Structures are given as structure tokens and as C-alpha cells.
Amino acid sequence: MDFLKRRKQEEQIKSEGRLPPGQSLTQKFPVLTYGPNPPFNPETWDLRVFGEVEKEMRWTWAEFQQLPTTTITTDIHCVTRWSQFDMVWEGVLFRDFVKLFGVKPSAKYVIAHCDYDYTTNTPLEAMMDDNVLLAYKYDGKMLELDHGAPLRTLVPKLYFWKSAKFLRALEFSTVDKPGFWENAGYHNEADPWKEERFQRRGWF
């Protein structure tokens, strides 16, 4: 990150209020994964959609890469208090993707299922934003394994744990199903502008 870009960003933070409360700007891309990285085998990998959909479907890695992609530039905010501005991501726009199989009106939540059983839950409405991706490129290059290769969700308006790495399936559900971190005490909604970091649950 060169000096001028950094200085420009610092000015932007002050003038535009781009940094949510309690966050600080980083130029790095930290890695946060619970447990080891799952190995990626392009021959056996698949992505499935199931639950409240018109048609349950499955894509191989070769098939998924044929889908049209969108590139977005976005700010990302992690609950561990780093934010990074102007990250460039490419992938399949979620709101385009759902047209391939049709979502039933009864679907209200999307549960992302990942290798090694990481899950995270998001209201369908939030997933339909115009910057939610099934992302496989970052900064013009294929996603690194540390950052969730081959495929992750990207839900920029929520804290970054809602962006599921090593994605393998999307479940469309009538009921909400708190995921891995949500069950461990992270906030169910995760809006960085409201500082929805943690949430007391009944059992602790």
C-alpha cells in the first residue's frame, strides 16, 4: 500500500464516515479460520442448493465456473475490529444465482454449509443485496485456500464471519438456524454499523 493511497483513505475515513464504530483500518488481509483448511479437490468438489427451492441443484467446480460473474469493490468489516476498504471481489451474484433454481416464498433464511461443518445464517433479504457474491476471485486472482478457496459467500454489509469460506451448500429455510459463531455467542444479525458483535444467549 503506497503512501498516497493510504493518506487518501485516511482522509476519506474522516470525511465520509466509512469506518463503523470500534473498527480500525488495516491494509492487510488477516486470515481467520476455525481449524485447518479443508483440502480442495476440483474433481470431487460440488456446490448444492436445498430446502425451500423450486428445484434442488448441484454444480461441479467446472460447471460453477461457467456461470456469469460480477466484480464488486467493497469495504469489509471483521468483528475482530479490522476493516479493509475497497476490496475487489469477483463471483456469481447471489440474486442472479437464485434465478437458476427458484426460491419458494416460504424461504426466509439462507444457511451456508461449509467443509468441516462451519455454518452461518443470514436472512434471505440480506442475501439479495446487489453486492452479495458467491466469490472465487479476490484482487483479480483465484481465491487463496486461506481465504476460503475455492468458493465463499461474500456478504459485505455484515461482519465478516457471515461470509462463509469453503462453501459447499446453501440451505433455504423457513426458520432461522444460528450457525457456528452465532451459537458460540456472536450476534445473530451482525450489523457493523450497530456494533452487533456479541449476544448473550440463554445458556451462558
Ligand X SMILES: Nc1nc2c(c(=O)[nH]1)N[C@H]1C(S)=C(S)[C@@H](COP(=O)(O)O)O[C@H]1N2
Binding region for Mo ion (CB under 5 A): 32, 78-79, 161
Quick one: 195 exposed, middle or buried, by C-beta within 10 A (0-12, 13-18, 19+)?
Answer: middle
Beta bridge partners of 138: 89, 141
> Which candidate, 133, 172, 189, places its Cα nearest to that of 55?
172
Interface positions, 174-193, toward ligand X (CB under 6 A) = 181
Q: With binding defined as CB under 6 A, does residue 163 bind ligand X?
A: yes
DSSP state of 35: S
Nearer to Mo ion, 53 or 79 (CB): 79
CA distance 125 to 152: 18
φ, ψ dihedrals at 152, nearest 5°: -135, 160
Selected from 118, 135, 158, 182, the binder of ligand X by CB under 6 A is 118
The CB-nearest residue to Mo ion is 161
Interacting stretch for ligand X, rule CB under 6 A, among 40-48, 63-71, 159-167, 170-178?
A: 159-167
Binding pattern for the stretch 28-67 against ligand X, x by CB under 6 A and - elsewhere: --xxxxx---------------------------------
Q: With binding defined as CB under 6 A, does residue 97 bind ligand X?
A: no
Q: With binding defined as CB under 6 A, does residue 114 bind ligand X?
A: yes
Partner whose binding site includes residue 163, from Mo ion, ligand X, none (CB under 5 to 8 Å by kind) = ligand X
CA distance 178 to 190: 12
Concatenating the DSSP letter of every residue in 106-132 gives: T--EEEEEEGGG-EEEEEHHHHTSTT-
Nearer to ligand X, 63 or 117 (CB): 117
Contact residues for ligand X, defined by CB under 6 A: 30-34, 78, 114, 118, 147-148, 160-161, 163-166, 181
